[in-house]
């Protein structure tokens, strides 16, 4: 649940002698001097990543740290340094203009956001680390941070994707926890970054393992009047929803690119949600059914299939008959941002292939085979001489 105004006020209260002694008289209330051990330590926040979503995350967080006494005002944002066409460094321009002119142009981030191209310096002294980079870079980033972060640090991942290793799939939150030795929550939801940047109403879900108090601290850090955040005790469920919906969004984009219509697209989304749920429970039986009805689940699936970058590039891929690669379309259409769906589809395919379950997930399987050029985009819906059928119908009865 989002914090109430009462809890926000409590976040800023200082103990008073009169209040402690139960004396309600305002005249008798005397501030109490706290020892160094008793003074609550302010949390320092660093955002690791500065793309479109990373910049929006920094904006959200900065609007709250400046108002809560429990956080230091300054929010550091690690920037993968780039040289702009003007010859200037991206981090220098962000700090001079208070705007990420490449990935979030026209939006002020907040005067308390500081761009830092030095990863180790950016995380120094921070005890709240927000990871928001393309998932394929996370293992390398985490290895660079070993021994460089505070022992009491807490992390949250806003990353959509997973790593597939020889021993099996590894969620990004697990990768962060295992490499850095720290607890990691996740945040996912129906969050198209550009809409949140201009403060259009949106929701998100924080997934946590055991410590609800830490989860609520993350909720307080992100929650604003236009960005409503709740929490659920289901890290894997929240994270897999955010990961797998990008694969379904590719399928929705193929449908759009082939002008198959809204009925077909709705069917693809419904079937995709079934496969998302089945795959999640295959990997983690503890995943909760209710998680799929949170913002991280069906809401994120809908918005990504209607307006996300994966849908957009898949639409273009289909309209070009699969003759232009996703790498080419990504470079042309996303201005440096990265697609997540294509790599995730490959990773999901590898997991299913290894377990001999491809036939039970024909939508996921078909998406990867289209992306890799084995099938034409039109294969997302297969036609027979008698009737049209969607791929999942062959195995759908086994997915309950």
Binding residues for NAD(+): 49-54, 80, 137, 193, 309, 338, 340
DSSP string covering 84-115, please? -TTS-BHHHHHHHHSS-TTTSTT----TTEEE
Angle 46-104-113 from CA coordinates, rounded to 5°: 30
| Cβ atoms of residues 49 and 79 within 8 Å | no
Pull the structure tokens for residue 154. 């807490």
For residue 58, give the nearest of 86, 99, 12 by alpha carbon: 99
Residue ranges with strand state E in the chain: 43-48, 71-78, 113-116, 128-131, 154-157, 162-165, 168-171, 184-188, 202-207, 227-232, 382-383, 388-389
Give every CB contact of residue 269 below 8 A, 6+ residues apart in sequence.
248, 252, 301, 302, 305
Annotated binding residues for substrate: 160, 309-310
CA distance 143 to 161: 18
In this structure, how many other beta carbons lie within 10 angstroms of the beta carbon of residue 266? Answer: 14
Point out the annotated binding site.
Answer: 49-54, 80, 137, 160, 193, 309-310, 338, 340
Quote the radius of gyration of the chain (alpha carbons, Å).
23
Catalytic center residues: 245
Is residue 110 within 8 Å of 75, Cβ to Cβ? yes
The count of C-alpha atoms lying within 13 angstroms of the C-alpha of 379, restricted to the half-sphere facing its C-beta, is 18
């Amino acid at each position: 649940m989002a914090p109430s105004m009462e809890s926000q006020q409590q976040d800023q209260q200082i103990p008073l002698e009169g209040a402690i002694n139960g004396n309600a008289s305002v005249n008798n209330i005397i501030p109490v001097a706290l020892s160094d051990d008793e003074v609550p330590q302010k949390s320092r926040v660093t955002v690791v990543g500065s793309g479109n979503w990373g910049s929006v995350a920094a904006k959200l967080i900065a609007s709250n740290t400046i108002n809560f006494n429990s956080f230091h005002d300054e929010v550091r944002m690690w920037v993968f340094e780039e040289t702009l066409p003007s010859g200037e460094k991206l981090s220098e321009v962000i700090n001079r203009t208070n705007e990420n002119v490449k990935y979030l142009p026209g939006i002020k981030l907040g005067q308390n956001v500081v761009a830092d191209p030095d990863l180790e310096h950016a995380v120094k002294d921070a005890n709240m680390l927000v990871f928001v980079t393309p998932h394929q870079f996370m293992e390398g980033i985490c290895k660079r941070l070993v021994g460089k972060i505070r022992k009491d640090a807490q992390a949250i991942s806003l990353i959509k994707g997973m790593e597939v290793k020889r021993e099996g799939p590894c969620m990004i939150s697990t990768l962060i926890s295992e490499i850095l030795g720290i607890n990691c929550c996740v945040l996912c939801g129906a969050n198209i970054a550009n809409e949140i940047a201009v403060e259009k109403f949106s929701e998100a879900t924080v997934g946590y393992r055991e410590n609800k108090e830490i989860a609520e601290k993350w909720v307080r850090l992100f929650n604003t009047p236009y960005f409503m955040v709740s929490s659920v005790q289901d890290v894997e469920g929240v994270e897999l929803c955010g990961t797998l919906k990008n694969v379904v969004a590719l399928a929705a984009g193929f449908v759009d690119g082939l002008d198959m219509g809204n009925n077909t697209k709705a069917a693809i989304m419904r079937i995709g949600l079934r496969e998302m749920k089945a795959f999640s429970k295959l990997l983690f039986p503890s995943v909760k059914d209710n998680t799929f009805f949170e913002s991280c689940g069906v809401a994120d699936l809908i918005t990504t299939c209607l307006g996300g970058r994966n849908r957009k590039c898949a639409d273009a891929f289909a309209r070009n008959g699969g003759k232009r690669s996703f790498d080419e379309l990504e470079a042309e259409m996303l201005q440096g941002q990265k697609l997540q769906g294509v790599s995730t589809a490959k990773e999901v395919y590898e997991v299913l292939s290894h377990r001999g379950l491809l036939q039970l997930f024909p939508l996921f399987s078909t998406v990867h085979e289209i992306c890799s050029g084995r099938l034409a985009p039109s294969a997302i819906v297969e036609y027979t001489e008698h009737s049209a059928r969607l791929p999942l119908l062959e195995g759908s009865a086994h997915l309950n």
